[in-house]
C-alpha cells in the first residue's frame, strides 16, 4: 500500500505536463482549425510512453528495495494499470480546473483512495453506503487486492499449507482468475473513461469559445435569456426608464428652445435687412451731394 501511495503522488503530479503547461498553445491551434481529436490522441499516446518509463523506473527500484516475492513482470503490470487510472484522472483535472487545484486533486484523490478505501480489512460488507461507493469507484481497492493476491500466491508451499493461510487464501479467493480479470478490467476501463471525459471537455471548451453558448446548450441559453428578461428586462428605448413628468419637461424644454431659436433667427434677419436699407440710403445721399457740388462749381 505504501508503494502505491508514493507512486500515486509521483505519477499524479506528472500529469500537469500533459495539458496545463501548453493550454494556451492548444487554444491557439484549436482556433486555427486543428482537430481536437488528433491533439487529444497525440497527447494520450505520448504520455502513455512517459507512464511506461516512469512505471518501469519506480517498479524496478521498489522491487529491489523491498525484495518482493512475486514476479517482477506481474508487479510491473499492476503498477502500470494503476498508473493508467491515476493519469487519466489527473489529465481530466488539469483541463477542468486551474493548475493549483488540479495538482491537489490529481495527487490527493488517488492517495485517499489507496489509504482510506484500499485496504483488504475490515471487509467491505461492514462499510456504509458511501464508503462502499468510494471503495468500488476508486482505484485503491483493486490495485491493493491485486498486489495482495500476488504476495499470497508467491508464498512458499510450506506456508501455504498452514491452515490459517489456506483458509485466508480460500476465503478471499486470492489467485482466482475471476478477481484478477475483474480488477484489471475495472482499472483499465475507468482510465479510459477519464480520458474520454477529457476529450469531451476539450471539445466543449473549443466549441463554447468558437460558437458561443447557443450552439452548445440552446436550452440553457434560452433559460438564461428568459430569466434576464423577467427579472432584469432589456431596455430597448434609452428614454423608456425616465418618468412621465421628466419626459414632458424635456419636451417643453425642447419646444421652448426651438421657439427661442426661431425668434432669434427672425430678429437677426430683420436687423440685417434694416442695415442694408440704411447703407443704400447713405450711398444715394453721398451721390446727390457730390452732384450738387459739381453743378455749383
pLDDT of residue 218: 65
103-140 per-position pLDDT tens digit: 888 888 888 888 777 665 545 556 677 777 777 788 87
Band of pLDDT at residue 206, cut at 50, 70 and 90: confident
pLDDT of residue 242: 46
Least-confidence region, from 15-29, 77-91, 103-117, 176-190: 15-29
> How many percent of the chain have pLDDT more than 90?
6
What integer is the mean pLDDT of 246-265?
Answer: 49
What integer is the mean pLDDT of 205-217?
Answer: 63
Other CB atoms within a 10 A radius of the CB of residue 175 amount to 14
- CA 226 to chain CA mean position, Å: 26
DSSP structure class, residue 174: T
C-alpha cell, 246: 421628466
DSSP E strand boundaries for the chain: none
Instruction: Give the ranges where 138-176 is alpha helix by DSSP (H).
Output: 140-153, 157-160, 163-172
Residue 30 Cα distances to 15, 90, 214, angstroms: 21, 22, 19
In this predicted model, which residue has the larger pLDDT, 288 or 33?
A: 33
C-alpha cell, 71: 514476479
CA torsion sign, 262 to 264 to 267 to 269? negative
Q: Is the pLDDT of residue 237 over 60?
A: no
In this predicted model, which residue has the larger pLDDT, 103 or 258?
A: 103
Q: Is the pLDDT of residue 292 over 70?
A: no
What integer is the mean pLDDT of 212-233?
Answer: 57
Amino acid at each position: 500500500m505504501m508503494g502505491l501511495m508514493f507512486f500515486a503522488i509521483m505519477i499524479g503530479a506528472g500529469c500537469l505536463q500533459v495539458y496545463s503547461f501548453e493550454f494556451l498553445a492548444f487554444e491557439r491551434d484549436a482556433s486555427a482549425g486543428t482537430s481536437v481529436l488528433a491533439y487529444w490522441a497525440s497527447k494520450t499516446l505520448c504520455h502513455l510512453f512517459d507512464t511506461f518509463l516512469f512505471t518501469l523506473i519506480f517498479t524496478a527500484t521498489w522491487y529491489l528495495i523491498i525484495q518482493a516475492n512475486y514476479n517482477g513482470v506481474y508487479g510491473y503490470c499492476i503498477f502500470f494499470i494503476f498508473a493508467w487510472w491515476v493519469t487519466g484522472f489527473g489529465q481530466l483535472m488539469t483541463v477542468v480546473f486551474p493548475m493549483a487545484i488540479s495538482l491537489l486533486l490529481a495527487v490527493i484523490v488517488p492517495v485517499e483512495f489507496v489509504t482510506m478505501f484500499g485496504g483488504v480489512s475490515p471487509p467491505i460488507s461492514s462499510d456504509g453506503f458511501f464508503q462502499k461507493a468510494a471503495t468500488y469507484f476508486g482505484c485503491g481497492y483493486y490495485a491493493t487486492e491485486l498486489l495482495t493476491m500476488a504476495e499470497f500466491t508467491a508464498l512458499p508451499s510450506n506456508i501455504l499449507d498452514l491452515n490459517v493461510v489456506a483458509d485466508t487464501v480460500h476465503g478471499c479467493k486470492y489467485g482466482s482468475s475471476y478477481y484478477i480479470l475483474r480488477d484489471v478490467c475495472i482499472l483499465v476501463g475507468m482510465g479510459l473513461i477519464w480520458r474520454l471525459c477529457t476529450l469531451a471537455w476539450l471539445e466543449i471548451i473549443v466549441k463554447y469559445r468558437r460558437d458561443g453558448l447557443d450552439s452548445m446548450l440552446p436550452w440553457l441559453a434560452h433559460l438564461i435569456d428568459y430569466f434576464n428578461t423577467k427579472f432584469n428586462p432589456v431596455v430597448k428605448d434609452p428614454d423608456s426608464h425616465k418618468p412621465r413628468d421628466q419626459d414632458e419637461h424635456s419636451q417643453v424644454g425642447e419646444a421652448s428652445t426651438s421657439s427661442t431659436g426661431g425668434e432669434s433667427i427672425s430678429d437677426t434677419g430683420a436687423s440685417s435687412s434694416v442695415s442694408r436699407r440704411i447703407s443704400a440710403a447713405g450711398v444715394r445721399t453721398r451721390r446727390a451731394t457730390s452732384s450738387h457740388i459739381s453743378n455749383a462749381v
